[in-house]
Structures are given as structure tokens and as C-alpha cells.
Structure 1
Amino acid sequence: MSNYVFAVTVRTSFDDTVQAVTAALQQEGFGVLSRIDVAATLEAKLGIAQRPYLILGACNPHYANQALRADADIGALLPCNVVVREEADGRVRVAFMDPAAVLGLVQHSEVDKLGHEVREKLQRVAKVLSV
């Protein structure tokens, strides 16, 4: 495990996992602002076939507003990215950006507190998925 993400591997299909992640994020107050289909982009731009790989840009408006009020440049670190990807063995892995680690770069006590609160929410999403 790295120091900037935490992850779970699930037993559902890729598409079912994307739906489950989106629903679980919504339960914790997050919306998905962006969907980057990395596999489709690499295929279209470079002709490289790859297993499904999707980046979801998740945002909780309440926390985003607090972070922006604390440091207007923090938008460069937002939103919280969630990666859903299919591994070589067909299992699906969901990796969450660790907001405490990333927002800790700002070195601002209020932002640090927010990062830990958001991490707890994303860890609950991961727990729901791993059941």
C-alpha cells in the first residue's frame, strides 16, 4: 500500500463496481464531478488496448467549500480521485486518493483536519465495497 492511496479489491464486475462506488460515495455526501475513461482515451489517442480503467473525480461540496475558504489555491488538489480498474486476473480494484496525505501538503491546520474527516468518509465507502 502506498502512502497516498488506500484500496480494496472487490468481487463484482467492473460496471457493477462503478455503480456501487458512485452510490456509496453519494451516501457519504459526494458527487462525481468527472469521469475519465483512461482505457478509452489510450485506445483513441495511442491505439493501446488496456483493461478497463476509470478515474472518478469525487467531491463533497461542504468540505470543498471549507478547503477553498482556508486556501484558495487548494483547488489544484481537488477533487478526490477514485480509481476503478480491472486487474490482470479479472478482479476489480478500487483505489482512493488519501485526502489526509494529499491535503497535508498544504501544511494548514484547518485543511489538515478536513483531510482527515474526508479520509474517514472515503474509508467508509471502501468498507461498504469490501463487504
Structure 2
Amino acid sequence: MSYTINRIIKDADFEGVDQRARQALTDHGFGILTEIDVKATMKKKLDKDMSAYRILGACNPGMALEAIGVEPRVGAMLPCNVILREVSEGIEVSAVDPVASMSAIDNEDLKQVAGKVRDMLSEVVQAI
């Protein structure tokens, strides 16, 4: 089972894909709670260069509340991360697959919520 939902964008630069990702997330009810510029962090902390790589910590508040309601400790696995990274073919967008990430939790109600969020994130990735 793959743990991410992936797509490669060939027709835009990194910042363009970033803006498209943010808009698609917003359009599907997600907000961005965290943002990590991995490239800048590695340069600053280790003085190492790498290709562009950004992690967006996305959250759909309604779905998060529903998940916490059926499994209170699930917050340890939130938010849903979406990564953007430069690859030779273009810009790869990968979103966590909530079904895969929640598979270790034995809670059928949570699995139902995770399935809904996976569908939403699949729509986000396709909309970018």
C-alpha cells in the first residue's frame, strides 16, 4: 500500500505549483497550519544544498474534529502533510494517505473518517 497520493506537474515552476497547491487546499476546505522549507532548513542547519522541498501541514477543521471525536489521541498524527519537491520530471506533489497512516489504529469509525479525508486529498492533488 502506498502511503502518499502523488502527481507530477510538468507545466509550472516550483512557486507556481506552491500557489496552485495552496489554492486547491483552500478550495477543498483545508487550511495550512504549518510550513517547512526543507531546502532552506538544510542549508541553514547543515550548510547542504538540495532541490526545492516544502512541507505544508494541511488541516480540514471539520474532519479533524470528527477524527478527534472518534479517536482522541489521533491528534498525534495530524495535520495532513502535503509535500512539494523538485524532481527531474517537474514538481512532484505528494499528500499523505490518511488511510495508510491511520492503519495502525484499530478503530473502524476512524477508518471511515480517514477514507473521506483521503478522497478529499485525492481531489486536491488532482486539482493542482
TM-score for the superposition, normalised by structure 2:
0.95
List alignment gaps of at least 5 residues for structure 2. none
CA contact (8 A) 2:30 2:60 kept: yes
Pair 1:66 & 2:50 matched: no
CA contact (8 A) 1:85 1:92 kept: yes
User: Which residue is 1:108 aligned to?
Assistant: 107
CA RMSD of aligned residues (A): 1.1
SS at match of 1:9: strand
CA contact (8 A) 2:8 2:89 kept: no
CA contact (8 A) 1:104 1:115 kept: no
User: Which residue is 2:4 aligned to?
Assistant: 5
CA distance in 2: counterparts of 1:13 and 1:105, whole angstroms = 37
List alignment gaps of at least 5 residues for structure 1. none
User: Which residue is 2:42 aligned to?
Assistant: 42
CA distance in 2: counterparts of 1:97 and 1:80, whole angstroms = 6
CA distance in 2: counterparts of 1:103 and 1:17, whole angstroms = 28
User: Which residue is 2:123 aligned to?
Assistant: 124
Question: 1:20: how far off?
Answer: 0.4
The residue correspondences of 1:24-43 to structure 2 (distance < 5 A) are 24-43=24-43
User: Which residue is 1:54 aligned to?
Assistant: 54
Aligned length: 127
CA distance in 1: counterparts of 2:6 and 2:119, whole angstroms = 13
CA contact (8 A) 1:104 1:111 kept: no
CA contact (8 A) 1:39 1:53 kept: yes
Question: 1:75: how far off?
Answer: 0.8
CA contact (8 A) 1:55 1:83 kept: yes
CA contact (8 A) 2:6 2:125 kept: yes
CA distance in 2: counterparts of 1:21 and 1:47, whole angstroms = 28
SS at match of 1:104: coil
